[in-house]
Structure 1
Amino acid sequence: MDEQEKPTAAVITQVEQQKKNRSRYNLYLDGEYALSVHEDLLIQYRLLKGETVDKLQLEEILRADEKHRAYLDAIRFISVRARSEAEVRKKLVTRGYEPELIAGVLRQLGEQGYLNDRDFAELWTKERITLQKKGRKWVEQELRQKGIEKKLVADAISKIDPDEEKEQALAIAVKRWKQMSGDPADKKRKLYAFLARRGYPPHLTSDVVKEVTASEPAGEEWEWEY
């Protein structure tokens, strides 16, 4: 390599901790501000006062810092609640990160066990059925909206306990029925619609309504249309 082609070196003349973000440090090269990095990279690359860095090293450090920023953004996003891979990707896209960098971060998160769409789908399904008292059709739609692939959605839905799902549907149906007034036939229609909106399948909705309204007068004969 000719002398003119050698990377230009500079000396780190000052390392200054940021006041508003104590985990980041400003680096000054040859007396002038050059860049800021996370403390993890400060240690990894031994960016200490008096050390020498060249242009190629600086480019590598900048790329590493950008990836580290994206990684921390993803971790913060995941820490609020479990997320699907598609949700994390969308979040990083809105933060302005490049596709290649995002792919690397997602791969790293997957390897570390922070992202797993199969586990996410099963956990989300369990919580929606037991805590939110939603039906399988509601859950299926939500999982698809979160970018979970069809096979994983089907696998998660298949693990729903039919007895547990019916128990949850009965609980909210009984409560709803007690709050309703008016003609029994009209109340039944409204109860059907209520359960259907919550994502319970037709056969389960029919069974639950019949069980909840068993003591009511038969009234007019009608069939619920889905």
Structure 2
Amino acid sequence: MGKITKITKQVKNDERYNLFIDGKYSFSVDEAVLAKFQLRKGLEVDELEISELQYEDDVKKAFNKAIQYLAYRMRTEKEIRDHLEEGDPEEGVIQEVIHKLNEIKYINDLEFAHAFVGTQMNTGDKGPTWIRGELRRKGVGDSHIEEALAAFTQEKQVDKAVALTEKLLHKYRKDSKMIAKQKIEQNMMRKGYPGSVMKIVWETVESERDDDERWDAVYHQGLKAHRKLSSKYDGYEYVQKMKQTLYRKGFSMEDIERLLEELKENEE
């Protein structure tokens, strides 16, 4: 049993108070804990009461930490748990904070999922597979995920995928049509668009190139191959290496033969 002999407000945090028991500093508590337990000078407290005070204070500190974390954006229950666990509090403290946050409706994984899907549909470039994986990583349950993803219909997925594909076609214009298509499909797969959507995209997007665009790609890749191979090979071996390299890159033998003829004429 001990007696509170002094209570002082902290200098750097005026919402916390230092408690002195029997003339010595013991611990500090939040203002809310001070008021809840009506702590005052002269009050006698035993070890069990001190333990309860410290537990309540730990809950209050963790709750304040969670509120600050939520101030930046919505969070899932798992995100909040992970954030609180960084301070290594008791599991009971975290459970109490989660319970309080649920009571005041500061946590709602279904609302979070709807908001996350809406953001990706309106401002992001990710597809449903990526979104599903990200929501699972954040701890959202599958039923909530699928309910939220219902808004990202196949029609909307195709619209976004078409726009992205058209940009990528321009980016990979110096590659053969075959290589460009492979790169685009890999890119779109990483972004989370399924093969069924890409099949519709290729039926929608005009991926055919005119003669000038096709030749620009052949010439660009041909010069790169020429600079690499001409220093190592010559004659028949050089020609065969060039044909093999450019054919693997998806160019037609007709265009390759034309390129080799043009390179030969430029050297003469």
Q: TM-score, normalised by structure 1?
A: 0.83
Q: Deviations over 1:142-163 (max 9, x none)?
A: 1111122222222222232333
How big is the shift at 1:178?
Answer: 1.6
Q: 1:95 aligns with which of 73, 87, 103?
A: 87
Gaps of 5+ in 2: 215-249, 251-268
Q: 1:51 Cα shift?
A: 4.2
Q: What residue in structure 2 maps to residue 22 of structure 1? A: 14
Equivalent in the alignment of 2:181? 188
Whether contact under 8 Å (1:23, 1:39) holds in the other structure is: yes
Equivalent residue, structure 2, for 1:53: 44
Question: Which is helix-richer, 1 or 2?
Answer: 2
Counterpart CA distance in 1 for 2:182 and 2:52 is: 65
Unaligned runs of 5+ in 1: 1-7, 221-226
Does the CA contact (< 8 Å) of 2:2 and 2:21 recur in 1?
Answer: no
Q: State the alpha-carbon separation in 1 of the partners of residues 35 and 165 from structure 2.
A: 59
- Aligned partner of 1:40 in structure 2 is 32
Deviating more after overlay: 65-74 vs 155-164: 155-164
The corresponding residue for 1:5 is: none
Distance 1:106 1:132 in 2: 30
Q: CA RMSD in A?
A: 2.1
Summarize the alignment of residues 202-217 of structure 1 with structure 2, pairs less than 5 Å apart: 202-216=195-209
Q: Structure 2 CA distance, aligned partners of 1:15 and 1:165?
A: 62
Identity %: 28
Which position in structure 1 is the counterpart of 2:120?
128
Mapped contact 1:125–1:139 kept (Cα < 8 A):
yes
Matched residue, 1:85: 77
Matches of 1:118 and 1:31 in 2, distance apart? 52
**Match of 1:137?**
129
Amino acid at match of 2:201: V
How far is 1:214 from its partner?
4.2
C-alpha distance after superposition, 1:77-136 (max 9, x if no partner): 222222111121122222111122211211111111111111111111221232221100
Structure 2 counterpart of 1:198, which letter? Answer: K
Partner SS for 2:71: helix
Tell me how far apart the structure 2 counterparts of residues 138 and 59 of structure 1 sit (CA, whole Å): 46
Pairwise CA distance, 1:29: 2.2
CA contact (8 A) 1:191 1:209 kept: no
- Residue 215 of structure 1 and its aligned partner are, at CA, apart by 4.2
Instruction: Count residues in correspondence.
Output: 210
The alpha carbon displacement at 1:9 in A equals 4.3
User: How far apart, CA to CA, are the structure 2 residues paired with 1:46 and 1:86?
Assistant: 35
Alpha-carbon distance between aligned partners in 2 of 1:158 and 1:118, rounded to the nearest angstrom: 13
CA shift digits 1:31-65 (9 cap, x unpaired): 211110112222222223x3413114322211110
* Aligned counterparts of 2:14 and 2:205: Cα–Cα separation in 1: 60
Name the amino acid aligned to 1:78.
Answer: L
Query: Of the two, which has the highest radius of gyration?
Result: 2
TM-score between the two structures when normalised by the length of structure 2: 0.71
